[in-house]
Structures are given as C-alpha cells and as structure tokens.
Amino acid sequence: MSIGLDLKNTLIEVGSHLSLSGEIGSGEYVDFEPNAQVTKPFIREFFLEATFPYDTSGETGLVVNLDDVGDFLLMNKIPEKFENETFQYNVVLYRCNVSGELWRPSGETRDNYYHQEMEFEKISPTVFGLQTDPLFGNIIEEDEELGVLGISRNELYLPTYYGIQPHDRYQPASGEYYLVETVLPRRFTGIDVVRLGEDNR
C-alpha cells in the first residue's frame, strides 16, 4: 500500500493530531477543512470535511478529539480507492457543542408532603453531542433544509453506544433538563438522532 503509506506519512508531517474516543497520548494524524457550503452559517460552524489515513481506527459513531479544535462526532467514512485498494478515507465530522449527563427514570417516591417525585439513575456521566438549539446567535426555522440534512430545533446527535432511550433525561453541563421524546436510530450509522422537549418531571 505504497500510496496509502505515503499519504499517511504526509498527514503525520502536515496534519492535525486526532485522539479516538478520548484516548490520551494516542491517535492519528488527519487533514481537515470547513465544509464547502460557506453560505450556510450552521454548516460553516459545525461541519468539517476530513481526510483520514488508509489504516485508521476511526469508525462512524465515535467521538474524536482534534487537538486545539475540539470534540467531534465521526458521522461517515467513505473509502477512496486506487486499483481496488483503499489509500485514504473521506470523512465528515460534526462538532460537539454540548456535553452532559444521561439519566433514566427508576421509579417514583413520595416526599414528606405525599407529593410524587420521579427518581432517576445516571446512565452515563459524560455524553457528547451536537444539539441544534441554541445556535449561538444563528436563526434556524423548523424543518429548514441545510444542505442535504433536515434540521429541526432541539435535535440532538450523539453516538448510539450511549444507549439513549425515549423518556430518558438529558442534562447538558449548562444545567437545563431535556426530555427524550423520540430516538431515530437509523438515519446515520452509529449515530442516534434524538428529539428533545422540555422536562418538567
């Protein structure tokens, strides 16, 4: 794999260091650039196109970290081939703009005044994802088409391995509570698309 090895060595020389799923001190070197759809602020802010080496360990659905840039969801990975051999991967990354905790209802209790209260158990302490609301000053309309992706307010994109389910509670580090209304598991490989609502439980 001469071409692939040459490109990998070039990435080591001029690319950016990437850690896979938070592994400290290990990883790969990749090349990335902003998405070409520069007229769409949301895509410009949150999407990156990247080149990964032919022997990458990165798989769709992982959270990866680019040094000095941030955490990203690895959304898809398409091989580029020469003479039927893969020499690099073209990858799309979505920037994670939230991290938080995932909670699941575990039953109900009554307080000293006999009021019912929902009890929750923590499923995961650190959940990274891309949440489309708030948008840091950008305006987005319900179901507006951005590129080929339909985006709705209060959608959360996160890895399937977190195991999020309807009726769970997502609590970003900023302190809000969100009710998981719907989980769409098949829009992307390894990524769940979650519809969020206000959680008053």
Asked whether the predicted pLDDT for residue 75 surpasses 60, the reply is yes
Q: Are residues 40 and 132 in the same domain?
A: no
Number of H helices, E strands in the chain: 2, 14
Count of domains in the chain? 2
What confidence tens digit (pLDDT) does each residue in 91-116 have? 999 999 999 999 999 988 777 777 77
Q: How confident is the model at residue 138 (pLDDT cuts 50, 70, 90)?
A: very low
Task: Please give the angle made by the CA atoms of 135, 76 and 20, to the nearest 5 degrees.
Answer: 85
CA 47, 58, 98, 198 torsion-angle sign: positive
Q: Are residues 122 and 190 in the same domain?
A: yes
Point out the domain boundary residue: 95, 122, 156: 95
- Classify burial at 83, counting beta carbons within 10 Å of its beta carbon; exposed 0-12, middle 13-18, buried 19 or more: exposed
Q: Are residues 89 and 114 in the same domain?
A: no
CATH number of domain containing 147: 2.40.10
Q: Are residues 109 and 178 in the same domain?
A: yes
Q: Are residues 66 and 112 in the same domain?
A: no
Q: Are residues 75 and 120 in the same domain?
A: no
Give the domain range for residue 135.
98-198
Span 65-94, average pLDDT: 93
Separation CA 78–CA 31 (nearest Å): 15
